[in-house]
Amino acid sequence: MKPSTAPGAADSAPLVAVNPGFFDKSRPRYSIQIITVAFGWLGYSEGFIGAKRQREILSTTDWAQVAKLLD
């Protein structure tokens, strides 16, 4: 897929904006403040199992327990 606007073009806009207030700078550097969850698969399979597993994980994970890791 080709982008509709070239990077740096006059009519382009950023997809992401930096939020300098996102992290608590008063916490020590070794303190976990963010967890990244990534999903990936190569190609498609019968019933597109990758997407099914992604939805299953997102809907069955106890996100409150994950959040406790950040406290």
For the segment 10-67, what is each residue's pLDDT rounded down to a tens digit?
Answer: 878 777 787 888 888 898 888 888 877 777 666 666 667 777 888 888 899 998 988 8
Predicted pLDDT at 43: 67
H-helix or E-strand spanning residue 52: helix 49-60
Residue 57 phi, psi (nearest 5): -65, -45
User: Is the alpha carbon torsion for 7, 13, 16, 22 positive or negative?
Assistant: positive
What token pair was written down for 41? Answer: 């698969």
Predicted pLDDT at 60: 93
pLDDT in tens, 58-68: 899 998 988 88
pTM flag (> 0.85): no
What token pair was written down for 54? Answer: 């992604």
CA distances from 7 to 1, 10, 16, 19 (A): 15, 9, 13, 21
Residue spans of the domains in the chain: they are 23-71
